[in-house]
Amino acid sequence: MAIQTFAAIDVGSFEVELGIYEISNKYGIRSIDHVRHVIALGKDTYSHGKISYELVEELCQVLKGFSGIMKSYKVTSYKAYATSALRDAKNNQIILDQILVRTGIDVKLISNSEQRFLSYKAIASKEQEFNTIIQKGTAIVDVGFGSMQLSLFDKDSLVSTQNLPLGALRIQELISRIPANLETHRQLIEEIVDNELFTFRKMYLKDRNIQNLIGIGDNSLYLFKRALAGDKPVPDKMTAEDVNRFYEVLCQMDLETVEDTFGVGEEYAELMFPGAIIYKRIMEITGAEQFWLPGIRLCDGIVAEYAEQIRQVKFKHDFENDILAASRNMAKRYKCHNAHNQALEQYAMDIFDTMRRYHGMTARDKLLLRIAVQLHACGKFISMKNSNECAYNIIMSTEIIGLSHLEREIIANVVRYNIRDFDYNQVSLEADIYKDAAGQFSANDITIKIAKLTAILRLANSMDRSHQEKLAGCKAVIRDGQLVITTDYPGDIALEQMSFNQKADFFEEIFGIRPVLKQKRRI
């Protein structure tokens, strides 16, 4: 494929950014131009819940200008994503419609987990350093304007990721309502940050040795680098001493000095203090020795994802495995039966692959099924009697990095209907029309997908009814209009057979294929 010109647009909480890139097999991804416009959408959202007409007008003008820049570069494809400020605004659908009508740019709202996953992919595009660093205990610290994400790695596998309400703009808006001098405001910020990080440390850092931090975000990182570099080349790695030194210097400055020193406006200068405090405190509570600043932004993640989708770039790192690892750690937290889950996953994958010609689902749907298997019993941690409803609430309340809100909703419903009669008219969905990179889907499309995944999960679950993995190594084939599952287990499978027959009716109703469980008799 020839060189393709691509544009990435990030509608953020504090600024709107356009990135122009060239993508090719030979050179990979090459940045051509970046344009940023400061517009504090988050101030309205975090203070009033809605974005004002004046800011919508300004946003449309900026995006219209971006459209002209894209035409001048002869951009062939683009992706435009909006994050927390627009995502959390009550009038976001009206705003998205105004943007499309007035600028021709189709902006998609992405969940927090999708946003952080994009940034994570951009870091992973720097493969040599990334893969070396995460061999040791590592945390990715993504401090944005609206919130902060902390993701923990252990031996190159993602083990946990949590979102905390510690965005620089969100904190600044909160303390600005308190009349006090600059020093008092700094102390208040420290108290807010420490309160959130204390809980995180108690729950997730107890047995973890964090040696490296990877820092990304839109505010302090680039100013960190500018301050520490001076006349020298900009460093991409810092020590704990560097962070402390920067913080001490910053605390001696008033706002005017910050503006002059870093060449930023007043609004940006105010956000320096929350960002610096967050990074400093994370270094202290984790005991990390090194802070890597790869210098990536969300636009870099957007183009990395797109280049992977069109197969112009191939990452060595297994991102799907990270999503599964996060799900398995979530299952571990809620005391799910690991051996049972492993058996179920194998059964479910065999059924999914064998039924491929009949279910019409994608590799992404297969991933959702694997996650549903891992989390199908997490509700028992709260209630043995109403475990499916509790599991639904747990999944809907927990972000899983790399999954959209819709995908999490699909998984939650599959788990809910695993042990509940399926009612096509009662499936809980939060919208009538869904939109993703592949196009539009109606609620009915999603309901059918949930039904298909539920039928497979139910059947797989029945195959380990005794939790003794009796059907390990079984074979599945389609023969004479039936899904024939054959096992050579020599012992008693009466419990599995009874449960299997109970689940067979719903499976046949969904796929038109009757599942049959057969046991080979040894002589």
Task: Give the CA dihedral 439, 444, 449, 453, nearest 10 degrees.
Answer: 160
In the block, residue with structure tokens 């990877």 = 214
In the block, residue with structure tokens 């889907």 = 441
pLDDT confidence of residue 437: 46
Q: How confident is the model at residue 467 (pLDDT cuts 50, 70, 90)?
A: very high
pLDDT confidence of residue 13: 83
pLDDT confidence of residue 434: 57
pLDDT confidence of residue 120: 80
Kindly state the tokens that stand for 417: 């209907």
Judged against a pLDDT cut of 70, whether residue 407 lies above it is answered with yes
Judged against a pLDDT cut of 70, whether residue 439 lies above it is answered with no
pLDDT confidence of residue 72: 96
> Which of the 8 DSSP states describes residue 65?
H
Q: What does the alpha-carbon distance between residue 43 and residue 188 come to, in Å, rounded to a whole number? A: 19
Average pLDDT over residues 392-414: 90
pLDDT confidence of residue 396: 92
pLDDT digits (tens, 9 = 90+) for 217-236: 655 555 565 555 555 555 67
- Of 195-204, 299-308, 383-392, 449-458, the range with the lowest mean pLDDT is 195-204
User: ∠ at Cα 281 (257, 250), nearest 5°?
Assistant: 10
Q: What does the alpha-carbon distance between residue 427 and residue 423 come to, in Å, rounded to a whole number? A: 7
CB 259 within 8 A of CB 265: yes
Helix, strand or coil for residue 308? helix
**Taking the model in full, what pTM does it have?**
0.79
Looking at beta carbons, which pairs linking 382-390 to residues 24 or more positions away fall under 8 Å? 387/419, 388/415, 388/416, 388/417, 388/418, 388/419, 388/420, 389/416
pLDDT confidence of residue 315: 75
Average pLDDT over residues 126-133: 75
Q: How confident is the model at residue 260 (pLDDT cuts 50, 70, 90)?
A: confident
Is 27 exposed, middle or buried, given 0-12, 13-18 or 19+ CB atoms closer than 10 A? exposed
pLDDT confidence of residue 468: 92
Pairing of strands 212-217, 290-292: parallel
> Which of the 8 DSSP states describes residue 281?
H
CA distances from 223 to 42, 227, 306, 433, 440 (A): 21, 6, 29, 42, 41
Q: How confident is the model at residue 261 (pLDDT cuts 50, 70, 90)?
A: confident
CB 271 within 8 A of CB 172: yes
Q: How confident is the model at residue 174 (pLDDT cuts 50, 70, 90)?
A: confident
Look at 264 and 252; give whichever has higher pLDDT: 252
Average pLDDT taken over every residue of the chain: 85
CB 443 within 8 A of CB 433: yes
Q: What does the alpha-carbon distance between residue 182 and residue 77 come to, in Å, rounded to a whole number? A: 46
- Of 77-81, 132-136, 503-507, the range with the lowest mean pLDDT is 132-136
Judged against a pLDDT cut of 70, whether residue 440 lies above it is answered with no
pLDDT confidence of residue 413: 94
pLDDT digits (tens, 9 = 90+) for 146-172: 788 888 887 767 777 888 888 887 888
pLDDT digits (tens, 9 = 90+) for 336-373: 999 999 999 999 999 999 999 999 999 999 999 999 99
Q: Which of 17-31, 376-390, 429-443 has the highest mean pLDDT?
A: 376-390
Percent of the chain residues past pLDDT 90, beyond the cut: 42
Q: How confident is the model at residue 248 (pLDDT cuts 50, 70, 90)?
A: confident
CB 367 within 8 A of CB 290: no
Judged against a pLDDT cut of 50, whether residue 523 lies above it is answered with no
In the block, residue with structure tokens 């940023």 = 36
- Of 106-110, 192-196, 261-265, the range with the lowest mean pLDDT is 261-265
Percent of the chain residues past pLDDT 70, beyond the cut: 93
Q: List the alpha helices (DSSP H) in 18-152.
A: 41-48, 53-72, 84-87, 92-103, 112-124, 127-133
Q: Give helix 443-462 / helix 494-511 axis angle, nearest 10°.
A: 160
pLDDT confidence of residue 433: 46
pLDDT confidence of residue 219: 55
